[in-house]
A and B are shown apart, each in its own frame.
Chain A
Amino acid sequence: MPQKKKEMEVPGPRRVADILADAGIRPTTVIVTQGRKLLTKDQRVEDGETIEILSVVSGG
C-alpha cells in the first residue's frame, strides 16, 4: 500500500532544507516533524536525532 510517511535518521548537524534536498524531496510537498514539533526548513537537526517526513500531496 502507498505510504506517505517516512522516518529517517540523518548524520547531523544538518538543516532540514539540506536533508530534503539530498533525499530529492521538494520542500513544499512535505511537512517535517520531530515528536510533537513541526520543523521549519531552516531548522537544524542534530546528529542521531530522528525526524519524520510526511507527504502532503493527495491524488484524489
Chain B
Amino acid sequence: MKCKRCRKAAAAVDLPSHHSAFCPECFFVFFRRQVEEGIRKFRLFSPDDRVLVCVSGGKDSLVLWDILMELGYRTEGLHIDLGIEGYSARSREKTLAYASSRGKEPIVVDLHAEGVPIPEAAKRARKEECSVCGTVKRYFFNRVAAERGFTVVATGHNLDDEAARLLGNLLHWDADHLSRQHPLLPEAAEGLVRKVKPLWRVSEMETAAYGFLKGIDYVTEECPMSEDATSLIYKEALTLIEEEMPGTRRRFYQGFLDPKNRDVPGNPVADACREDASKDGKDIGEGGTPRKCNSCGAPTYAETCSFCRLKERVTKPQGRS
C-alpha cells in the first residue's frame, strides 16, 4: 500500500476512519495538523501560556508532551508517582528517561511522601482506587500549577477516551458529567486552573503509532488498579461499531461538541451542556462561591477540601470505631 499523501513511500499507518494511509513522514504531518486543529478549534491555549503537561509514563501523555514541545509551546512535565508497587517505579523511570532525552526534568510529586499512596489511601478511605486517584491527581494538578505559575494543565486524553466517556455518560444520563465533558474547562476560580485535552481529535491507535515511529519508550503495561475499569467496556463496544462503520467514533464525539447539536431545545444532553462548563470536581460542583480550604487553602465549597478530608481519613490512627 502506498502513502495516500505523497504517493511515493510505502504506507506505515492505515487509517480507515480517515479513508487514508500514510508513510511515517506524512503521518507526522497528519498527526501534527490534527493536534493543531484541536488546539485552535476551542482556543485551548496560546504560545503565551505556560502549559503543565501531566505525564504518567504511558503513551498518550508522553506523546502529548512530545508534540507540544515540537509545536513550540512552553511546557513542563508533572509526574505523580502513585505509590503502586512495581508499576509506579517503572512509570517514573520511563517518564524521567523520556524527559532526560529531551533535556527536561519533570516536576515529581511522590504520593508516598505526601502520605497518600493510592492503594493504601483507597483501602483506608474504603473507596475505589480510581476514584481516590482522580481526587488526588486533580488536587495536585491545581496545586502545582497555582504554586508554579502555570496557566494551563494539559492531559493526554484521546478521542477513544472521550468517546468512551461520552457513551458511559449518555447510557447513565449523567447530566452533571455531560455538562463538564469538553476538551476545554476554563479556569473556575483562583487555584482551579484551566484544563485542556489537546489530543481529543486523535485515536489511541494514532497516538501509539506516533509514539512508536518517534521512538518514544513508554510504559506498555496497564495500571493494575484499572483492570476492571468500565471505560474498557465502552471502548470495546465502540470498537465493534467502528470496525463495521469506520469514522463513527469520531462523528459521535465531534457531533457532541458541535454547537449546532447543543442548541436542541428540550434535549437533556443539550440542557446539561448549556450549564456552566467550568465546574471542576465535587468541591466546586455544588453552587455558591468557593472559599479556601481551612487546612490547605485550596478552593472548595466545604470547610475542608476533598483531598484534605481524604488525607485525614488515611493518616488518622486505625483503631476501634
Contacts and interface: CB of A to CB of B under 8 A. Distances in A.
Interface of A: 1-5, 26-31, 33, 37-43, 54-60
Contacts of A26: 239-240, 243
Given A27-B243, A37-B12, A38-B24, A60 B205 contact: no
Nearest to A27: B243
Contact of A58 (B11, B16, B58, B203): B58
Contact of B226 (A39, A42, A43, A60): A60
Interface of B: 1, 11-14, 16, 21, 24, 56, 58-60, 86-87, 130, 160-161, 203-205, 207-209, 212-213, 220-224, 226-227, 229, 231-232, 235, 239-240, 242-243
B227 A56 contact: no
Given A33-B212, A37-B12, A28 B239 contact: yes
Given A5-B220, A28-B239, A38-B213, 4 more contacts: A40-B13, A54-B208, A54-B220, A60-B223
Greatest chain B CB density within 10 A among A37, A43, A59 is at A59
Given A40-B13, A59-B229, A1 B208 contact: no
Contacts, number: 85
A53 to B, nearest CB: 11
A40 B240 CA distance: 20
A57 to B, nearest CB: 6
Given A28-B243, A40-B13, A57 B235 contact: yes
A42 B227 contact: no
Given A54-B208, A57-B204, A40 B239 contact: no
Contacts of A1: 86-87, 221, 224
B212 A58 contact: no
